[in-house]
Structure 1
Amino acid sequence: MASAETGTLSTRYTLDDQVGYLLRLASQRHAAIFQKTIAQDLTPTQFSTLLRLHEAGEVSQNQLGRLAAIDIATIKGVVDRLRDKSLIETRPDPGDKRRSLISLSQEGRDLIATLERVGTEITEATLAPLDAAERTALIALLRKIT
């Protein structure tokens, strides 16, 4: 393990230097900013699902789950709740009667510009302690490990 101060290996386990602990703290900070900023009654998972659906257009539930990085068991509940909020619509897949196709409803499409604006505000607030170069580096590093 590298010491944060020296960059040298340390034999002592220090929780404050552990990636999982630091990622959890950063995630908690981001979640608090999200909850404080988002005016809509949406969870972060619902938020990202709506934006992925906007990007992809009409897709199956399984495909939507893959696009939003949500497992099969969870995406069903997310889809059900978004449908209950009238933000998405489902219809039978004409090519496969066992599956449904999901798309944004008009209300969901009308919400996208607001979600993108608010999402930008949330990201800006989350990254506020960092300068431009640090922001770019952090995003690149997070992409590399995900």
Structure 2
Amino acid sequence: MAKTATLKRPAKTAPKPAPKPAPKSAVKAAAKSAKTNYVLDDQIGFILRQVWQRHTMIFARDIGSNLTPTQWAAMSKLVETGPCSQNQLGRFTAMDVATIKGVIDRLTARGLTETSADPQDGRRLLVSLTRAGQQLAEKTAPLALAISKETLAPLDAKERETLLSLLSRLR
């Protein structure tokens, strides 16, 4: 008969007591310190939102209310990529499924995009620009470049390059 090894179990030790909660005065002091250290105007999200608001104001002024920055993003990406699935387009433009669907529905209703069966996968639909969509994109592209230039106008060339490089790293 073969001998079996017996495992030694470590001796049971008493459970460690839970740490005592900090006194209420310490919690209040920490909260007060946090209040004084957090300045909304210095927060990246707040600054980005203000810059985005300025950019969209310039966009609306120069392009008008018939095309939103989100719709323009979808159209300009279709110019770059050619036909692609709605899902791909959403990924390319950093839009969630519901947002890209709404954007494409509105552009299609205006006759700027259309869908067709993917010749390689009949279950999949491809989104593409119509002739009217292509013409609008050609007309809008120079305006969009000017809008980006105006948004960045307070910065010199080196600052613009640095800002765009740093923001790209945060994606």
Taking structure 1 as the reference length, the TM-score comes to: 0.86
1:99 aligns with 2:124: yes
Deviation digits for residues 72-98 of structure 1 (CA, Å, limit 9, x no counterpart): 111111111111111111112244343
1:26 aligns with 2:51: yes
Deviation digits for residues 29-53 of structure 1 (CA, Å, limit 9, x no counterpart): 1111111111461111100000001
Aligned-residue offset at 1:145: 0.5
The structure with more radius of gyration: 2
Aligned-residue offset at 1:108: 1.1
Equivalent residue for 2:147? 122
Count residues with an aligned counterpart.
136
Distance in 2, matches of 1:68 and 1:17, equals 28
Deviation digits for residues 93-141 of structure 1 (CA, Å, limit 9, x no counterpart): 2443432111111111112222210111111111111111111111111
User: Which residue identity does 1:98 align to in structure 2?
Assistant: R
Equivalent residue for 1:57? 82
Equivalent residue for 2:167? 142
User: Which residue identity does 2:66 align to in structure 1?
Assistant: D
Q: Superposition RMSD on alpha carbons, in Å?
A: 1.5
User: Which residue identity does 1:42 align to in structure 2?
Assistant: L
1:77 aligns with 2:102: yes
Identify unmatched segments of 5+ residues in structure 2: 1-35
Distance in 1, matches of 2:169 and 2:157, equals 18
Distance in 2, matches of 1:40 and 1:54, equals 21
Instruction: Give 3-state SS (helix, strand or coil) of 1:70's partner.
Output: coil
Distance in 2, matches of 1:106 and 1:40, equals 21
User: Which residue identity does 1:41 align to in structure 2?
Assistant: N
Share of identical aligned residues, percent? 49
Q: Which runs of 4+ in 1 moved over 4 A?
A: none
Taking structure 2 as the reference length, the TM-score comes to: 0.75
User: Which residue identity does 1:17 align to in structure 2?
Assistant: D
Identify unmatched segments of 5+ residues in structure 1: 1-10
User: Which residue identity does 1:45 align to in structure 2?
Assistant: T
